[in-house]
């Protein structure tokens, strides 16, 4: 077990015996914009959508990973991999569970600016949770109006700076040498609202060779050039250095879940031998402008950014002798940009209100990508000879239309989106052949929905849509045998059906139930995993069926609770074959096998209490998940199911113009050993990423309003 800064936290807790952010009362009907693109009651939207507000995001958390905030959202599985070099694993109704790193199959948006690239790959780490006002999470058919993804949409919003100026500082520390410091300022001066934030996070990591350091900053300016216009300017930066402990085999996990993987023949660690690690530098700026013309609104946004990444992998020296191999070091510089515009009109029609939206989105990213050997002579883990050099370009241009008619009892909605996506590769390393090429995809995805107000407190709804996921560049990079680009991959097409119920049970309870079925063709699966390179192929159809249930309650004596349950049955409908790592063997995945990386059952429960007079509050959380298969054959040991409990408490107090707070959190209080996430289809059998045992976090905050 690594050392922890216990003495420091004891001193902090003694100095500030109060909590950073107190738990707010359960909000039973939030206002959302995800789905309809206009402000809308979540209770009256014909879709499964949840809102996580600022109080929940900060409830005894370090505000480092979005997994902290989304644990109680049904249908969403967000796993902290204890590996900052690979980002979080986020899946929605099973989409994205196969992603080896980053977020796949879910559209990420922050303050109206995409955090997903045009090819569908995204990084949730760029979300600034310190200043997040709310996170909206939508699953199901209505999300298809957002384009190239199939699982859903996750949008984060920060508040506008307003009112009296204030400054805030916070510090937290906990197990495994982890600490985080954050400083922010907000207010309004001369009609300009401002919000500024900067933070640093450092951890030794739960596992060996999992140290990480992250610096993050953001600035937001808002002002009104006219009475009906609003302009928002945004800028953010993100820099991270992280070691990569890699996954474990089952025997390694059982023997020492904190260790790094070992080579069975020599008992050496590839991660340590090659010093596997990743460095990211990300900067981005953008603007949003909105102007109202009576009942009509025009919105325009534009953004641009740059991302540089260098990653050292543990690919052995031997496979790199293949002249087609691109080496063990990935190094790329990415320039990305985009713009969007939409018009929204509101009209009275047939005794109801009609809202229509027309819009276009344009996005582009260009990578200068290089590959190097990860050795020089006998020295490993260094940048060696150039083995790959190319320019990768992806462009998307989408057009969409939405309409919603809302009457006294019925609401009808529909949308249509046409997506054009093009990939182009210009190979500049020609000594092993020319891998240049291009491919384009075009897809039109419709969506329809209806909601019926059975009573003033009960709504019934149904919706249906077509969705698609184009292959990402990461999935195209290698063909069978680790060779050139695989331009033959097809998009995965999906058909979504959902029906649900939203009910206010008295004044203090809200129940949400969604039942869904998703049929997918051309599911993206592993074709081969050879020489440290994974190639993908399109499999046959799959079926996902499930139920999502959420119950929020306010009880007497200031108790609140939340229950969230997900049942997800995801299976292959047809058999398909793939090749294993050397010795090469072709294996067949049978129809009826479960899709890997997806739990059939997930349950979250929380009971919280707050004392209004003193500001003291406490909560207990419970999380349970059934077993998860790690590969398509369903033959390797599945990650076992688990159940853990967490505890948090603290107090919040106002002292003059100061608001002071502190918190203490104890995770996994019964010290369970379990697999927190899996690496689906890993070619070396290192499927398992262990989660920490009992661990703690404590923090303080001070806010001063001028």
Provide DSSP, 278-327.
EEEEEEEEEEEEEEEETTEEEEEEEEEEEEEEEEE----TGGGGSTT---
Identify the CA nearest to 393 among candidates 435, 365, 427, 361: 365
pLDDT class of 554 with cuts at 50, 70, 90? very high
Residue 100 has pLDDT above 80, yes or no: no
Q: What is the pLDDT of residues 5-27, one digit of tens each?
A: 333 333 333 333 333 333 444 56
| Predicted pLDDT of residue 1 | 43
Of the candidate ranges 200-204, 323-327, 370-374, 438-442, the one whose mean pLDDT is the lowest: 323-327
In the chain, the percentage of residues whose pLDDT exceeds 70 is 94
Cβ(599)–Cβ(568) under 8 Å? yes
> Does residue 264 carry a pLDDT above 70?
no
Q: Which two tokens stand for residue 647?
A: 């505890």
Q: How many CA atoms lie within 13 A of 564 on its CB side?
A: 18
- The fold of the 6-263+290-687+696-705 domain, in CATH, is Maltoporin; Chain A (2.40.170)
pLDDT at 43: 94
Q: Where are the domains of the chain?
A: 6-263+290-687+696-705
DSSP structural state of residue 57: H
HEC string of 141-157 equals: HHHHHHCCECCEEEEEE
Task: Dump strand ranges (E) for 313-457.
Answer: 329-349, 352-372, 375-376, 379-380, 386-406, 410-427, 437-455
Secondary structure (DSSP) of 149-201: BSSEEEEEE-PPP-SS-EEEEEEEEETTTEEEEEEEEEEEETTEEEEEEEEEE
In this structure, the number of other CB atoms found within 10 A of the CB of residue 21 comes to 23
Q: What is the pLDDT of residues 398-456, one digit of tens each?
A: 999 999 999 999 999 999 999 999 999 999 999 888 889 999 999 999 999 999 999 99
**CA-to-CA distance for 589 and 62, rounded, in angstroms?**
41
pLDDT computed for residue 17 by the predictor: 33
| DSSP β-bridge partners for residue 238 | 216, 282
Peptide linkage before 583 cis (omega within 30 of 0): yes
Per-residue model confidence (pLDDT) at position 200: 98
What span, in angstroms and rounded, lies between the C-alpha atoms of 35 and 144? Answer: 9
For 231, 560, 618, the CA distances from 557, given in Å and listed in that order, are: 44, 9, 13
Q: Token digits for 597?
A: 């990386």
Per-residue confidence at 581, pLDDT binned at 50, 70, 90?
low
Report the pLDDT averaged over residues 211-240. 96
Report the pLDDT value the prediction gives residue 583, as an integer from 0 to 100.
65
| CA separation for the pair 678, 691 (Å, rounded) | 11
DSSP 583: S
- In this predicted structure, the answer to whether residue 44 has a pLDDT above a threshold of 90 is yes
Q: Is the pLDDT of residue 127 over 80?
A: yes
Instruction: Assess whether pLDDT exceeds 90 at residue 374.
Output: yes
Q: Rounded CA gap, 535 and 525, in Å?
A: 9
Tell me what the pLDDT averaged over the chain comes to: 91
**Could you identify the residue written with the tokens 């995204």?**
122
d(CA 598, CA 119): 23
Residue 431 gets which letter from DSSP? T
The DSSP secondary-structure symbol of 538 reads E
Question: What percentage of the chain exceeds 90 in pLDDT?
Answer: 74
Query: What DSSP state is assigned to residue 33?
Result: -
Q: Count the helix, strand and coil residues of the chain and give each as a percent rounded to the nearest 5.
A: 5, 55, 35
Concatenate the DSSP letters of all residues of 452-501 into one string.
Answer: EEEETTEEEEEEEEEEEEPPPHHHHS--TTT-S--TT---EEEEEEEEEE
Residue 479, pLDDT above cutoff 80 = no
The number of CA neighbours under 13 Å toward the Cβ of 225 is 10
Of the candidates 445, 492, 526, 568, the one whose C-alpha atom is nearest the C-alpha of residue 91 is 568
Higher pLDDT among residues 386 and 3, named by residue: 386
State the Cα–Cα distance between residues 612 and 616, nearest whole angstrom.
Answer: 8
Which residue in this structure is represented by tokens 């040498």? 177
Does the pLDDT of residue 266 top 80, yes or no? no
CA pair distance 162, 173, nearest whole angstrom: 30
Phi, psi of 46 (to 5 degrees): -80, 60
Angle CA(453)–CA(459)–CA(464) in degrees, nearest 5? 105
The predicted-structure confidence for 294-318, as pLDDT tens digits, reads as follows 999 999 999 999 999 999 999 999 9
Q: What is the Cα–Cα distance from 632 to 595, expressed in whole angstroms?
A: 6
Structure confidence by residue, pLDDT tens digits, 664-679: 999 999 999 999 999 9
For residue 334 the two structure tokens come to 């990415």
């Amino acid at each position: 077990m690594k050392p922890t800064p216990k003495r420091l936290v004891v001193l902090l807790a003694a100095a500030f015996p109060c909590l950073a952010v107190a738990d707010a009362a359960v909000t039973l009907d939030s206002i959302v914009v995800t789905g309809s693109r206009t402000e809308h009651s979540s209770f009256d939207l014909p879709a499964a959508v949840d809102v996580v507000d600022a109080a929940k995001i900060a409830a005894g958390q370090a505000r480092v990973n979005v997994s902290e905030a989304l644990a109680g959202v049904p249908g969403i599985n967000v796993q902290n991999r204890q590996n900052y070099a690979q980002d979080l694993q986020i899946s929605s109704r099973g989409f994205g569970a196969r992603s080896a790193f980053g977020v796949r199959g879910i559209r990420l948006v922050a303050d109206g600016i995409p955090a997903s690239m045009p090819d569908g790959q995204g990084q949730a780490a760029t979300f600034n949770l310190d200043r997040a006002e709310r996170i909206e999470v939508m699953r199901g058919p209505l999300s298809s109006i957002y384009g190239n993804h199939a699982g859903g949409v996750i949008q984060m919003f920060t508040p506008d700076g307003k009112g009296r100026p204030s400054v805030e500082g916070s510090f937290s520390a906990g197990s495994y040498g982890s600490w985080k410091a954050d400083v922010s300022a907000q207010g309004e001066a001369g009609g300009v609202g401002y919000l500024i934030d900067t933070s640093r996070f450092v951890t030794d990591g739960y596992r060996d060779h999992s140290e990480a350091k992250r610096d993050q900053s953001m600035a937001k300016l808002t002002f009104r050039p006219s009475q009906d216009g609003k302009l928002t300017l945004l800028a953010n930066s993100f820099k991270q250095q992280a070691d990569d402990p890699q996954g474990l085999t089952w025997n390694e996990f059982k023997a020492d879940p904190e260790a790094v993987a070992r080579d069975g023949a020599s008992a050496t660690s590839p991660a340590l031998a090659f010093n596997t690690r990743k460095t990211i530098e990300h900067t981005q700026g953008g603007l949003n402008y909105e102007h109202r013309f009576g009942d009509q609104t025009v919105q325009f946004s534009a953004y641009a950014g740059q991302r540089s990444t260098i990653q050292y992998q543990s690919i052995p020296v031997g496979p790199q002798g293949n002249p087609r191999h691109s080496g063990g070091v990935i190094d790329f510089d990415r320039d990305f940009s985009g713009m969007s515009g939409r018009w929204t009109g509101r009209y009275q029609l047939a005794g109801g209100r009609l809202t229509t939206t027309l819009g276009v989105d344009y996005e582009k990213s260009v990578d200068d990508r290089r590959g190097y050997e990860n050795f020089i002579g006998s020295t490993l883990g260094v940048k060696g000879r150039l083995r790959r050099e190319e320019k990768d370009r992806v462009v998307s241009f989408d057009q969409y239309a939405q309409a919603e008619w809302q009457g006294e009892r019925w609401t009808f909605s529909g949308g249509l989106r046409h997506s054009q996506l093009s990939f182009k590769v210009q190979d500049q390393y020609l000594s092993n052949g020319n891998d240049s090429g291009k491919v384009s995809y075009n897809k039109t995805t419709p969506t329809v929905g209806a909601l019926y107000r059975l009573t003033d407190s009960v709504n019934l709804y149904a919706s249906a849509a077509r969705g698609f996921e184009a292959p990402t560049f990461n999935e195209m990079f290698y063909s069978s045998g680790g060779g050139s680009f695989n331009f033959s991959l097809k998009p995965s097409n999906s058909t979504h059906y959902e029906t649900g119920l939203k009910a206010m049970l008295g004044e203090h309870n809200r129940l949400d139930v969604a039942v869904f079925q998703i049929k997918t063709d051309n599911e993206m699966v592993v074709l081969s995993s050879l020489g440290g390179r994974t190639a993908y192929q399109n499999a046959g159809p799959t079926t996902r069926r499930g139920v999502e249930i959420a119950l929020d309650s306010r009880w007497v004596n200031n108790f609140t609770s939340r229950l969230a349950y997900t049942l997800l049955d995801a299976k292959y409908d047809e058999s398909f074959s793939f090749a294993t790592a050397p010795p090469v063997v072709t294996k067949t995945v049978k129809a009826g096998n479960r899709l890997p990386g997806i739990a059939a059952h997930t349950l979250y429960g929380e009971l919280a209490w707050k004392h209004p007079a003193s500001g003291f509050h406490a909560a207990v959380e419970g999380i349970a998940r059934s077993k998860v298969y790690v590969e398509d054959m369903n033959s390797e040991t599945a990650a076992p199911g688990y159940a853990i409990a967490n505890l948090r408490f603290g107090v919040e107090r106002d002292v003059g113009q100061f608001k002071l707070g502190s918190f203490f959190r104890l995770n996994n209080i019964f010290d369970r050993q379990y697999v927190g996430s899996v690496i689906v289809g890993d070619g070396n059998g290192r499927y398992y990423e262990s989660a920490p045992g009992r661990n703690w976090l404590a923090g303080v905050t001070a806010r001063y309003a001028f």
